[in-house]
């Protein structure tokens, strides 16, 4: 998919404040510092459009971007950030879960995981929660530039083996590097194809 236009729409602190849910929406979620905002910038070919930081917890609001005037790309706050107070962490979790459960135009959630790490309990639990809640999701492995091809293969396999303990079928997964601007095109193609199917089926939100 060609990116013809992308505009920042708004930041919201509640799902009720988000832009009208009248277009297909795709959201990026994952642990703090996993690279959500960086990958959004790489895919949109914009520098620091979605704010990034080396310090976890940079994105604290729900950020909506309108792409090609036809669909929303949403940058969500990270979950599981240990260094904020328990109360604040709970309030982020509530913001995220309320958004996911109530956003009627949410077509697919992309769960980002850092390819360098072994499967993390918090990510697996989050994916299980998505499954139980009937939320369609895909996995995006981030920071692939940090590993050699063989290690990438091993880490993806370890993740898949872990998931197959709970799931019969694996979700779609993508391997990406925001640093090298790799892997984003496959995600954009998936979004483009899904939008065409929605249009053909005259799905209205």
How far is the C-alpha of 94 from the C-alpha of 67, rounded, in Å?
A: 27
Considering the complex, what minimum distance in angstroms separates the CB of residue 95 from ligand GTP?
12
Considering the complex, what minimum distance in angstroms separates the CB of residue 63 from ligand GTP?
9
Dihedral, CA atoms, 167, 118, 29, 124, nearest 10 degrees?
A: 30
Instruction: Pick one of ligand GTP, Mg ion, none as the site partner of residue 201 (Cβ within 5 to 8 A by kind).
Output: none
Instruction: Pick one of ligand GTP, Mg ion, none as the site partner of residue 24 (Cβ within 5 to 8 A by kind).
Output: none
How far is the C-alpha of 25 from the C-alpha of 23, rounded, in Å?
A: 6
Instruction: Pick one of ligand GTP, Mg ion, none as the site partner of residue 93 (Cβ within 5 to 8 A by kind).
Output: none
- Contact positions vs ligand GTP (CB under 6 A): 32-38, 52-54, 56-59, 77-78, 142-143, 145-146, 177-179
User: SS3 for 109?
Assistant: strand
How far is the C-alpha of 40 from the C-alpha of 73, rounded, in Å?
A: 8
Instruction: Pick one of ligand GTP, Mg ion, none as the site partner of residue 195 (Cβ within 5 to 8 A by kind).
Output: none
CB neighbour burial string for 38-57, b if at least 16 within 10 angstroms, e if fewer: bbbbbbbeeeebbebeeebb
Instruction: Pick one of ligand GTP, Mg ion, none as the site partner of residue 32 (Cβ within 5 to 8 A by kind).
Output: ligand GTP
Angle between helices 86-102 and 121-133 (to 10 degrees): 30
User: SS3 for 25?
Assistant: strand
Can you tell me which of 15, 18, 30, 37 binds Mg ion, judged by CB under 5 A? Answer: 37
Q: Using the rule CB under 5 A, give the single segment among 10-18, 36-44, 97-105, 133-141 that binds Mg ion.
A: 36-44
Residue with tokens 């940058």: 75
Considering the complex, what minimum distance in angstroms separates the CB of residue 150 from ligand GTP?
18
Q: Using the rule CB under 5 A, give the single segment among 1-9, 15-23, 31-39, 117-125 that binds Mg ion.
A: 31-39
The residue nearest Mg ion at its CB is: 59
Contact residues for Mg ion (CB under 5 A)? Answer: 36-37, 58-59
């Amino acid at each position: 998919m060609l990116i013809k236009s992308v505009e920042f729409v708004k930041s919201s602190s509640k799902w009720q404040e988000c832009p009208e849910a009248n277009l297909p929406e795709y959201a990026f979620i994952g642990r703090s510092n996993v690279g959500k905002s960086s990958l959004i910038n790489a895919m949109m070919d914009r520098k620091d459009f979605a704010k990034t930081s080396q310090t976890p917890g940079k994105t604290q609001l729900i950020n909506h971007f309108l792409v090609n005037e036809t669909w929303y790309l949403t940058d969500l706050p990270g979950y599981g950030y240990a260094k904020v107070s328990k109360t604040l962490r709970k309030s982020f979790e509530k913001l995220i879960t309320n958004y996911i459960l109530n956003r009627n135009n949410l077509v697919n959630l992309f769960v980002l995981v850092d390819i360098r790490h072994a499967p993390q309990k918090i990510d697996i639990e989050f994916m299980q929660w998505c499954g139980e809640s009937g939320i369609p999701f895909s996995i995006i492995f981030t920071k692939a530039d940090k590993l050699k091809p063989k290690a990438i293969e091993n880490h993806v396999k370890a993740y898949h083996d872990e998931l197959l303990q709970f799931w019969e079928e694996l979700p779609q997964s993508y391997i990406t590097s925001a640093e090298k601007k790799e892997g984003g095109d496959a995600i954009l193609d998936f979004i483009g194809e899904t939008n065409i199917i929605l249009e053909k089926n005259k799905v209205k939100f």
